Amino acid sequence: MVFGHACARPFSLRRGLIFSRFRVYFLTEPVFKKEEIVLSTAAERVTHVFAPVYDERSAVLVLGTMPSPASRAQGFYYSHPQNRFWPVMAALFGEPRPQTPEEKTNFVLRHRIALWDTLAAGDIAGAGDASIRKPEPNDLSRIFETASIRAVFTTGAAAHGFYQKYQAAKYPVPEFCLPSTSPRKRENFSRRADRKLSKNKEISIKTASEKT
């Protein structure tokens, strides 16, 4: 029989021996299974709640996968404080970084950029795109029917994969996969994005949006 209170983290054998002087014993193996301990990463059904940002002047469409928990809490795209999207956009256009949802909306519309995501819903654990199951794609037709989109940029491999699977065949415009801006990737997005964008200046976010 094991006495004492249960813990999510198993005690070491050494600590068990110390407690044995008081005739209290602890198991040296974990009391709970791994799935029971990591409850916070369990998948949940997430439905996209943000409207797309665009108008009839939009020329470039930037697509992510799904809003992260931080973005959903803030009520706007790429809102995790460590996400690289807004710092990179500000540097690309030589402007101060927009801070509020209103400033971010004005920023992208002023530069003829549309924002949305590839998925309308999916089962996802936290902010991990790789964990997405049962995806439901967004219908992008409202954007393409309103604006003359010249190019699509997907932010990360997951967004690129979903776009190619569900949407690319419907819209005959170039699509380019940028490095993910998510802080989970732990990569220098600025350098990789600069290299990716400069490979074809005719279709970079900046030049595509500025074409008349």
Calculate mean pLDDT across residues 148-154: 96
What is the reported pLDDT for 192?
Answer: 56
Under the banding of pLDDT at 50, 70 and 90, the label for residue 24 is very low
Q: Dig out the tokens for 59 from the structure.
A: 């020329």
Q: Dig out the tokens for 118 from the structure.
A: 């590839």
Q: Has residue 163 got a pLDDT over 60?
A: yes
- Residues 63, 19, single domain; the answer is no
Look-up of token digits 């170039």:
174
- Residues 13, 77, single domain; the answer is no
For residue 72, the enclosing domain spans: 43-210
Task: Compare 109 and 8 and report the one with higher pLDDT.
Answer: 109
Contact 86, 34 (CB under 8 A): no
- Residues 158, 93, single domain; the answer is yes
What is the reported pLDDT for 32?
Answer: 34
Tell me 95's DSSP state: -
The CATH number assigned to the domain holding 61 equals: 3.40.470.10
- Residues 67, 161, single domain; the answer is yes
- Residues 57, 27, single domain; the answer is no
What is the reported pLDDT for 203?
Answer: 47
- Residues 29, 60, single domain; the answer is no
* Among 170, 167, 177, CA closest to 200: 177
Q: Dig out the tokens for 30 from the structure.
A: 């974990």
Task: Compare 20 and 126 and report the one with higher pLDDT.
Answer: 126
* One-letter identity of residue 19: F
- Residues 16, 121, single domain; the answer is no
Under the banding of pLDDT at 50, 70 and 90, the label for residue 185 is low
Containing 8, the helix (H) or strand (E) segment is none
When divided into structural domains, the chain yields a total of 2
Q: Has residue 182 got a pLDDT over 90?
A: no
Task: Compare 132 and 185 and report the one with higher pLDDT.
Answer: 132
- Residues 159, 80, single domain; the answer is yes
At CA 78, angle to CA 73 and CA 79, rounded to 5?
40
- Residues 104, 192, single domain; the answer is yes
- Residues 167, 92, single domain; the answer is yes
Task: Compare 102 and 183 and report the one with higher pLDDT.
Answer: 102
Q: Has residue 168 got a pLDDT over 70?
A: yes
What is the reported pLDDT for 205?
Answer: 75
What is the reported pLDDT for 195?
Answer: 53
- Residues 96, 159, single domain; the answer is yes
- Residues 86, 12, single domain; the answer is no
Residue spans of beta strands (DSSP E) within 98-188: 113-117, 119-124, 133-137, 151-155, 175-178
